[in-house]
Amino acid sequence: MKNRITIIIICALFLFACKETTKNTSEVNQENGITDSVTVKTNRTIFLIDNCDNSNYSAALEEDKTKGNDSCILRINAIDKAIDKIEILNIPADRSSINYCEKEYVVVGFACGVPCYSQVFVFTDNREKKQFDYGQKISSNPNIIAHIKNEEFERLIIHNLKNGKEQIVQNHDINWMQYGQMDTMYIAGNTLKLEYQTFNKQTKKKSISLNDILK
């Protein structure tokens, strides 16, 4: 009987000690701002993908999780508040980025396959956006760009973003592994200067008059 009482007293003391230890630990955790089980919930659905700033505006490419992966939002906020634009782009959020920003437009590029690459031009004014595959920037004139259509890499298309006029440059000897990309391309006066690699790995130079699309 005496042994049973002794065992009961020891168990009671042990349980009391455990309770005090748990209480003290909880108090220390509360003092340190720690909780044993925390679930952080957020209603955030808009996430920044990329951004670009210049002296005229700031542009932000965002993903809206509520619209699925094939949708992005481009926001253009003017420095002087003269232009504010929001454009919904049906492009893959996980493969898209801002390529570059010009005074009158933002270029958003995305991978559309192998080796396919496409670009969307979103203008800061009221012009509708335009999309081009294998787009190429031409130095010295932001209103003129080059692109490839239907993966016909020997046909370089020169496009005037202002008036929509186009001119074809045939490069039948271009190395197809370049996917129509020029090594050098710029405009001097009304003449397009370009260089590219041929099949036999030689550099080809051309001068093309652009009078017809600059009018």
pLDDT score of 5: 46
pLDDT along the chain (215 residues), means of 10: 46 48 46 47 84 95 88 92 86 96 97 91 95 96 97 97 97 94 96 96 96 94
- What pLDDT is stored for residue 49 in this prediction? 97
Q: Within a 10 A sphere around the Cβ of 127, how many other Cβ atoms?
A: 14
**Where does residue 62 rank: exposed (0-12), middle (13-18), buried (19+ CB within 10 A)?**
middle
pLDDT of res. 41 = 53
Give how far the C-alpha of residue 144 lies from the chain's centroid of Cα atoms, to the nearest Å. Answer: 22
Q: Are 120 and 105 in contact (CB under 8 A)?
A: no
Q: What pLDDT score was predicted for residue 82?
A: 66
Q: CA 30 to CA 111: how far, in whole Å?
A: 50
